[in-house]
Amino acid sequence: MPRPDLLQRLANHTAERTRTRLLRRLHTIDLADGPWLESGSQRLLSFCSNDYLGLAQHPQLVAALTRAAREEGVGSTSAHLICGHRREHAELEEALAVWTGRECALLFSTGYMANLGVLQTLLAGGDVCVQDKLNHACLLDGAKLSGAGLKRYPHADVDAAARQLAANPDAAAMLATDGVFSMDGDVAPLRELAQLCARERATLMVDDAHGLGVLGAHGAGSLDAANLGQHEVPLLMATLGKALGCSGAFVAGPAALIEGLIQFARPYIYTTAMPPALAAAALEAVQLAQAETWRRDKLAALIARFRRGAAELGLPLAPSPSAIQPLLLGGAETALAAAHALERQGVLVTAIRPPTVPAGQARLRITLSAAHEEAHVDRLLGALETLHLPASLRAPGDDHV
């Protein structure tokens, strides 16, 4: 039997995606202007960006990046442990640790790399990693690559998580969860999970990529909102490319954790450090996110306005308190048709289809930002009202079909 050709096998998988209308396509953006995007001849009002606080084009971030690039150049030119760790990185790490109430913080180039680094460093064969079934792919991949046993519990089911831990009483254990779930927008039951981990002597890790900057009295994320500190949650990961409008990620926690990651986390050791100019911009974003509390207030008001309007239209929204507002449409074809219909009206919302979400749970993933205005939200609601959704998706008694 001839040896299989790897490229042909990949092409076959891609062809199957095409056949089932699940093929992903790039959407090239020519110009970004706040919530407005230009693509070819179209000017689109975007509701699919993670720029939750509207900081990505803030002039102070642009000025900080430009100033640092002029002084330091563009690239860091090296890994952190050689000569790539600059003053800007150290200042940003210190600011992130203070903001999140942690002893230390460590920068990574991406959130994916940060989660791989943490899980591969702490876990080993014979250990157990218990995770929510809706966790981000990088948490799942990190556990698999570590060699530990991966146990997944039904979404937000603390009792099921407890059974998973109890079934492995002698193994070193980590429980890992998203803080805000990226496709559903809901918040994990963090206090209950922290109590469970304390009883079971398991280490709790929270990926707060979508909570940092948005939730909590100080904007420090879902753990801030739940009033959970380093003792209850020793492992915190969050990103700089969402509410902070930049790029990169960090892990925050005890000094012993950070020192261990510096020594053993392969995605940290063996990659070039983020550009120092980008770290300077991110530091500016951290300061703005704390000082300009009106951004969180405005975002919360826009979320409430959108949810009220969607309820009046009988739209099948998931119960999300965050900037992520999923419109649950079921079939992939229905979601894709809805996204295309909105785009024809000048509104850009991404259709999320399997395998990103389970079969039968395709959706429009609507995201709101402090860069939006009330009129933008009303325009979105008006466009959604025109969608010809199946009657089964509407709320009982609604006559908008």
Query: What are the residue ranges spanned by the domains of the chain?
Result: 27-56+293-393, 59-291
Rounded CA-CA distance 181/369 in Å is 17
The pLDDT profile of the chain, 401 residues, written as one tens digit per residue, is 889 999 999 999 999 999 988 888 888 989 999 999 999 889 999 999 999 999 999 999 999 999 999 999 999 999 999 999 999 999 999 999 999 999 999 999 999 999 999 999 999 999 999 999 999 999 999 999 999 999 999 999 999 999 999 999 999 999 999 999 999 999 999 999 999 999 999 999 999 999 999 999 999 999 999 999 999 999 999 999 999 999 999 999 999 999 999 999 999 999 999 999 999 999 999 999 999 999 999 999 999 999 999 999 999 999 999 999 999 999 999 999 999 999 999 999 999 999 999 999 999 999 999 999 999 999 999 999 999 887 667 655 444 32
Rounded CA-CA distance 234/176 in Å is 11
pTM (predicted TM-score): 0.94
Q: Which segments are annotated as binding site for pyridoxal 5'-phosphate?
A: 111-112, 182, 210, 239
Domain spanning 27-56+293-393: CATH superfamily? Aspartate Aminotransferase, domain 1 (3.90.1150.10)
| Cβ atoms within 10 Å, residue 255 | 11
Write down the catalytic residue from 58, 80, 85, 242.
242
Q: In the 8-state DSSP scheme, what is residue 209?
A: T
Question: Token pair for residue 231?
Answer: 């003792």
Q: What is the pLDDT of residue 394?
A: 63
**Is 400 known to be catalytic?**
no
Rounded CA-CA distance 302/289 in Å is 18
Write down the catalytic residue from 58, 85, 210, 298.
210
**Is 298 known to be catalytic?**
no
Angle between helix 111-122 and 137-146 (nearest 10):
30
Write down the catalytic residue from 46, 76, 109, 182.
182
**Is 392 known to be catalytic?**
no
CATH fold of 59-291 reads Aspartate Aminotransferase; domain 2 (3.40.640)
Q: Which segments are annotated as binding site for substrate?
A: 24, 136, 356
Question: Token pair for residue 240?
Answer: 């700089």
Q: Which segments are annotated as binding site?
A: 24, 111-112, 136, 182, 210, 239, 356
Rounded CA-CA distance 52/372 in Å is 9
